[in-house]
């Protein structure tokens, strides 16, 4: 019976191809296979403009960032972002290159550098970046008695799962410091429990601050953040930063911030030039994302958006054509997304207005205070 149906389908398609448009052939196939044209139309509508964005696990902040993007992009009809929870930063790069359906991914900059250096992914140069995103801070939480990073020699340090951003960042950091430790590959929540029990000496975790993982941790049990050194030998993807009492009031004293390092995160795009529909979906995504970007820096969105400057260049990567073209078309808007440039333009505007009206010039302190009021006003405006 199955063979007969197959023969009927084959003969019907050959006849249709010779006498009718392809759409009629599709109807024949759907009818014989039990799929109605109405179903096909609805499926096409649901898939219209969809971009799949792969992020790392919910322990970090990339899931929240993807949700923010989805809320900005989704118009309920022609475009939509579908967050996909991946396995690790390194796996996200591999998936973006090879896994069917993945259009975009958020990855750590130093992990991308690692993948290139070790030639883990062939054709990795075909990947392009949409924009540099926020920085993620290196957290090193240790048990009592550990005073410096050198005290971790010969100790057990949890570095998340294999291939994670934390795993790769910590490995490269400790290699640079010539510090031999025993890496323990456990999920952060499991590692935190082990640290409390004294089964490991430290828990390393690369994520945007303030990290929910450490919200319930207090200094009463002796757990504390350890300072992490930064020097000129660090990779270009790293930068010095601090963990403060504002970030972790239960772990950091107001007058004793913790020096550490941060690594950048990047929004990467797959090479879809041979797939026009998916490529155009990314073009549409970029246009809406960049145009509505200012709203992401307002109330209701993750505070890490305040660190993002769409115009930031990554010299070692090629920017996606849609992103480059948008920035070229909107050069003035791009400049305003740089806080330093915006503050300078604001100061010049004040000077020119005061001079034109014959009023006395404002001091730098007065202009700075007025600019802060302007920034506060900007943040509460509805997009």
Environment class of residue 181 by beta-carbon count within 10 Å: exposed (0-12), middle (13-18) or buried (19+)?
buried
Residues 144 and 244 reside in one and the same domain: yes
Confidence at residue 47, expressed as pLDDT on a 0 to 100 scale: 72
E strands, 75-127, where?
80-85, 104-108
Confidence at residue 2, expressed as pLDDT on a 0 to 100 scale: 42
Which of 233, 265, 297 finishes a domain? 265
Confidence at residue 274, expressed as pLDDT on a 0 to 100 scale: 93
Is the CB of residue 182 less than 8 Å from the CB of residue 207?
A: no
Instruction: Report helix, strand or coil for 336.
Output: helix
- Each residue's pLDDT expressed in tens, for the chain with a length of 383 residues: 444 434 433 433 333 333 344 445 544 445 555 567 777 766 666 677 889 999 998 778 899 999 999 999 998 888 899 999 998 899 999 999 999 999 999 999 999 999 999 999 899 999 999 999 999 999 999 999 999 999 999 999 999 999 999 999 999 999 999 999 999 999 999 999 999 999 999 999 999 998 989 988 887 788 999 999 887 556 667 888 999 999 999 999 998 999 999 999 999 999 999 999 999 999 999 999 999 999 999 888 999 999 899 999 998 899 999 999 999 998 765 555 556 656 666 776 777 667 666 678 888 777 776 776 665 555 443 33
Residues 20 and 56 reside in one and the same domain: no
Tell me the C-alpha distance between 119 and 125, whole Å.
Answer: 11
Residue located via tokens 């090879």:
98
Confidence at residue 23, expressed as pLDDT on a 0 to 100 scale: 47
Going by C-alpha positions, the residue among 132, 84, 125 that lies closest to residue 107 is: 132
Tell me the C-alpha distance between 124 and 303, whole Å.
Answer: 31
Which of 265, 297, 324 finishes a domain? 265
Residues 308 and 252 reside in one and the same domain: no
| CATH number assigned to the domain comprising residue 50 | 3.40.190.10
Residues 154 and 253 reside in one and the same domain: yes
CA 382, distance to chain mean position in Å, is: 24
Tell me the C-alpha distance between 15 and 8, whole Å.
Answer: 11
- C-alpha angle 336/337/338, rounded to 5°? 90
Tell me the C-alpha distance between 290 and 382, whole Å.
Answer: 17
Residues 159 and 261 reside in one and the same domain: yes
Residues 192 and 235 reside in one and the same domain: yes
E strands, the chain, where?
50-55, 80-85, 104-108, 128-142, 156-158, 182-184, 202-207, 224-225, 238-243, 258-269
| Residue-range definition of the domain harbouring residue 25 | 2-45
Going by C-alpha positions, the residue among 278, 289, 330 that lies closest to residue 75 is: 289
Residues 148 and 128 reside in one and the same domain: no
Residues 160 and 243 reside in one and the same domain: yes
Residues 199 and 212 reside in one and the same domain: yes
- Distances in Å between the Cα of 299 and the Cα atoms of 211, 220, 295, 333 are 19, 33, 8, 21
- Strands 202-207 and 156-158 come out as parallel
Which of 213, 243, 265 finishes a domain? 265
Helix, strand, coil distribution of the chain in percent, nearest 5? 45, 15, 35
Q: How many structural domains compose the chain?
A: 4
């Amino acid at each position: 019976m199955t063979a007969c149906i197959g023969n009927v389908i084959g003969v019907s398609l050959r006849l249709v191809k010779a006498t009718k448009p392809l759409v009629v052939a599709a109807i024949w196939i759907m009818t014989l296979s039990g799929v109605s044209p109405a179903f096909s139309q609805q499926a096409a509508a649901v898939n219209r403009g969809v971009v799949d964005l792969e992020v790392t696990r919910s322990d970090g902040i990339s899931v929240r960032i993807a949700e923010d993007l989805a809320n900005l992009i989704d118009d309920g009809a022609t475009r939509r972002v579908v967050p996909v929870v991946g396995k690790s930063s390194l796996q996200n790069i591999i998936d973006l290159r090879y896994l069917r359906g993945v259009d975009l991914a958020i990855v750590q900059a130093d992990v991308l550098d690692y993948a290139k250096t070790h030639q883990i992914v062939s054709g990795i140069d075909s990947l392009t970046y949409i924009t540099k995103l926020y920085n993620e801070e290196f957290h090193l939480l240790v048990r009592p008695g550990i005073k410096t990073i050198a005290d971790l020699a010969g100790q057990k340090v949890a570095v998340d799962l294999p291939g994670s951003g934390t795993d790769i960042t910590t490995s490269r950091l400790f290699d640079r410091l010539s510090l031999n430790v025993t890496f323990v590959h456990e999920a952060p929540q499991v590692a935190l429990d082990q640290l409390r029990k004294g089964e490991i000496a430290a828990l390393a975790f690369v994520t945007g601050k303030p990290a929910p993982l450490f919200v319930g941790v207090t200094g009463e049990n002796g757990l504390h953040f350890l300072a992490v050194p930064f020097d000129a030998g660090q990779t270009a993807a790293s930068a010095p930063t601090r963990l403060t009492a504002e970030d972790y009031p239960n772990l950091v004293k107001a007058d004793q911030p913790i020096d550490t390092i941060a690594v950048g995160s990047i929004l990467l795009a797959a090479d879809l030039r041979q797939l026009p529909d998916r490529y155009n979906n990314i073009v549409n995504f970029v246009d809406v994302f960049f145009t509505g970007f200012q709203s992401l820096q307002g109330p209701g969105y993750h505070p890490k958006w305040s660190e993002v400057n769409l115009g930031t260049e990554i010299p070692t990567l090629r920017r996606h054509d849609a992103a480059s073209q948008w920035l070229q078309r909107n050069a003035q808007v791009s400049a305003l997304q740089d806080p330093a440039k915006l503050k300078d333009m604001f100061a010049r505007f004040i000077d020119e207005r005061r001079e034109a009206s014959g009023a006395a010039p404002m001091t730098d302190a007065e202009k700075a205070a007025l600019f802060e009021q302007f920034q506060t006003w900007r943040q509460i405006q509805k997009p």
